[in-house]
Amino acid sequence: MKSVSRGIIALILVSAILLFSDLQNRSVKKDLYQATGNSVPRGAKFRLCLAHYVDSPNSEACEKGIRKALEDKNLREGVDFTLKVYNAQGDISTLNSIAGIIGNEKRDLIFATSTTTIQLLAKKLPDSKIVFTNVGDPVAAGLGKSFDDHLPNLCGISTMSDFDGLMRLVQFLHPGIKRVGTVFTPVEINSVSFKNRLEEAAKKRGIELIAVPANSATEVLEAANSLVAQRINVFCQISDNLTCSCSSAILKVSLDRKIPYYGFVTNQLQQGAVAVCARDYFQAGYEAGQMGIEVLSGKNPAQIPYRYVEKTDYLIDLETARLFKIHIPDQVFKAFPQLKISKQ
Amino acid sequence: MTLLIGSITIGLILALLALGIFISFRIFNFPDITAEGSFTFGAAITASLIVAGANPAVATLLAFAGGLLAGSTTGLIHTRFKINPLLSGILVMTALYSVNLYVMGKSNVPLLSRNTLFTWFEKFSNIISGKDATVNLIGWSVPARDLWTLIFCLLITVAFSLLLLWFFRTNIGTAMRATGDNDQMIRALGVNTKGMIISGVALSNGFIALAGSMLAQFQGFADVQMGIGMLVWGLASVIIGEALISDNKLGLVIAGAVIGAVLFRLLVAIALRWGMNPNNLKLITAAFVFLALVLPGFMKQTKKIKLPG
């Protein structure tokens, strides 16, 4: 019995340490943390926090964007607000602990930078105000019935790809284009929904989308070859988990068969994509930051609809375009003011 | 206080995982990597069934059955085809990734507004203590539903621990333990050790899948990547528990695994609560585990010095 008591003593000791570090939350006066009024009250010190699921360039860019948005509203860290950053480092049980801690701290506003984080926080903290960003499809993630009719304590920015924008660019560079192709993954819900959206965007411009399914890494190459056999003019590859990690297989087919590749992920430019139309994650963070300020000013999150990030990066690689003998007219930079030349 | 209750609840859910890992690693000496796949498998089965309208309790038990299936596959691959235990675990874990995608139909299944075991606990709390009631615990006001959730998780974990204890004391269970300790001896007594290994690894993964199923319901979604890192956490809990208890009576060792899992979550919560740089989180957790392992032995040594002879 002596040995069990040692375990129990250790448990009690550690619990006591945890409770001790939690003393400030004992008998909290609730009104202390509630922001009121229609403008951002000066002198009020907002207690904000930010939860990352994993270290990724996208979520880091989002964090920078959120900080910039607060700064642009003349809110200074340490004076007007405190921003506590949590990172689960890719571990779901740690993310659960983080949700517990955030709930305990009764923050004025919480930022979440991934689908996993917002799903967990939405479930665990139904009474906290949360703004999300870097979430592909908030409706598919169960965060609401539509962008307007959603969970009452959430609002945020969706970073779904700009399908229409890419189709517009492709049609501009390849006038008279008939057929574009993509590989998609039937088991990924995002992939199917992205394929359908791309199909819609293409149909609107009189272009036919040929989509070939792939279920595993080895099938991606076969699927890309099968697209070539169906005589597509260009690849317009949607980004899902499987085809994103196997994009080099499709890009190899693109280079071998001289069929230009267009995509939605920036780093595909280095692998041989002609142009990409990628969401700007700094901007996604910036807009989430602005939305957060609205909430802090007293607006009810339930009345703020979810929306897509406004700004999109169009990047083109002239070197690759020359390789595929694509003529890049100067007007393209007028038609797409956001279009930038990618430097390698 | 809510923080403490929340951490203990997660700890108790992950204690089921620790028990599973304890069975394969400690009882059978079988380094079973299937854990990361079967954890997600349990979550996937439960989430898909609940979305399809199944009863949460049935969905949870079927997750346990799914874990049994995954584990027995690993055991079969190892015993029938003489493949190294590590490799058979890797094979099944890898295969389960695709299986999980098929079970869920996508990479992530939300359960936000669905009936789960945990919404049942909340409903129960609403009936017993009233809606949105809070309880005053030595100065901290705590939502009653959190407290009830903790109590139910405690009941579930204790029930499964007792079940395991009872099972390992039956004839089959004793033969299983003997297989892990000295398989030549037990084979000489006429026990089919291959069958023992298969059922042992199956049982282990059943517990792991059960933990995955509970965690998915607790956090409100199942994700195809949620198993990543679970093996390491489970193993750390088992070892912390052993270091603390340092006794090899079966009941105490099982209690040690549960205590280790809860302790581990508490340590992570403290690391988070003290507001350290988030980039250092894993470093600090590693340091905590190291301390937990070293301290008991260190205390023993100091005792010996005080009382010579």
Judge: B269–A101 Cβ closer than 8 Å, yes or no. Answer: yes
DSSP B57-93: HHHHHHHHHHHHHHHHHHHHHHHHH---HHHHHHHHH
Are A176 and A321 members of one domain? yes
Distance in Å from the first CA to the final CA of chain A: 68
Are A202 and A78 members of one domain? no
User: How much of chain B, in percent, has pLDDT values that exceed 90?
Assistant: 46
Coil, strand, or helix at residue A94? Answer: helix
Are A231 and A100 members of one domain? no
Give a yes or no: residue A137 inside a domain.
yes
Q: How far apart are CA A107 and CA A103, in angstroms?
A: 8
**Largest interatomic CA distance in chain A:** 83
Coil, strand, or helix at residue B160? Answer: helix
Q: What is the least distance, in Å, from the CA of A77 to any CA of chain B?
A: 16
CA A63 to chain centre: 12
Judge: A120–B219 Cβ closer than 8 Å, yes or no. Answer: yes
Query: Residue B60 is part of which domain span?
Result: 2-227
pLDDT at A37 over 70: no
Measure CB to CB from residue A120 to each of B220, B241, B256 and give the nearest one.
Answer: B220
Give a yes or no: residue B242 inside a domain.
no
Are A193 and A268 members of one domain? yes
pLDDT at A32 over 70: no
Q: Which residue has the tokens 């912390």?
A: B240
pLDDT value of residue B308? 53
Are A80 and A201 members of one domain? no
pLDDT at A30 over 60: no
Q: Which residue has the tokens 């990597």?
A: B33
Are A271 and A130 members of one domain? no
pLDDT at B38 over 90: yes
Measure CB to CB from residue A91 to each of B105, B229, B259 and give the nearest one.
Answer: B229
Q: What is the least distance, in Å, from the CA of B188 to any CA of chain A?
A: 35
Query: Residue A38 is part of which domain span?
Result: 32-159+284-308
Total domains present in chain A: 2
C-beta neighbour count of B213 within 10 angstroms:
34
Are A99 and A187 members of one domain? no
- The ipTM (two decimal places) reads 0.76
Q: How far apart are CA A329 and CA A68, in angstroms?
A: 35
Give a yes or no: residue B16 inside a domain.
yes
Of the listed ranges B5-19, B149-163, B227-241, the least confidently predicted one is: B227-241
Are A218 and A244 members of one domain? yes
pLDDT value of residue B84? 93
pLDDT at B299 over 80: no
Give a yes or no: residue B289 inside a domain.
no
Give a yes or no: residue B77 inside a domain.
yes
Q: What is the least distance, in Å, from the CA of A7 to any CA of chain B?
A: 6
Measured CA to CA in angstroms, residue B51 lies from A214, B16, B47, B104, B126 at distances of 26, 24, 6, 10, 24
Give a yes or no: residue A51 inside a domain.
yes
A115 at interface of B, judged by CB pairs closer than 8 A: yes
Are A155 and A173 members of one domain? no
Task: Tell me which residues of chain B, numbers 177 to 236, contact chain A at a CB-CB cutoff of 8 Å.
Answer: 215, 218-221, 223, 225-226, 228-230, 233
Give a yes or no: residue B172 inside a domain.
yes
Per-residue pLDDT tens for A135-176? 888 888 889 999 999 999 999 999 888 898 899 999 999 998
pLDDT value of residue B303? 64
Are A320 and A191 members of one domain? yes
Per-residue pLDDT tens for A298-341? 999 999 999 988 878 888 998 899 889 888 888 888 888 888 88
Instruction: Considering only residues B44 and A247, tell me which one the structure prediction assigns the higher pLDDT.
Output: B44
Total domains present in chain B: 1
Measure CB to CB from residue B2 to each of A15, A96, A104 and give the nearest one.
Answer: A104
pLDDT at A43 over 70: no
Give a yes or no: residue B256 inside a domain.
no
| Nearest of A151, A119, A157, A150 to residue A136 by alpha carbon | A157
| CATH (domain of A72) | 3.40.50.2300
Q: Which residue has the tokens 């979520």?
A: A59
Give a yes or no: residue B194 inside a domain.
yes
Give a yes or no: residue A4 inside a domain.
no
Judge: B106–A189 Cβ closer than 8 Å, yes or no. Answer: yes
Q: For residue B141, what pLDDT band results from cuts at 50, 70 and 90?
A: confident
Per-residue pLDDT tens for B149-181? 999 999 999 999 999 999 999 999 999 899 988
Give a yes or no: residue A7 inside a domain.
no
Are A84 and A189 members of one domain? no
Per-residue pLDDT tens for B82-140? 999 999 999 999 899 889 988 988 778 888 778 899 888 888 888 888 777 788 777 77
Give a yes or no: residue A218 inside a domain.
yes
DSSP A106-119: T-SEEEE-SHHHHH
Give a yes or no: residue B266 inside a domain.
no
Are A154 and A269 members of one domain? no
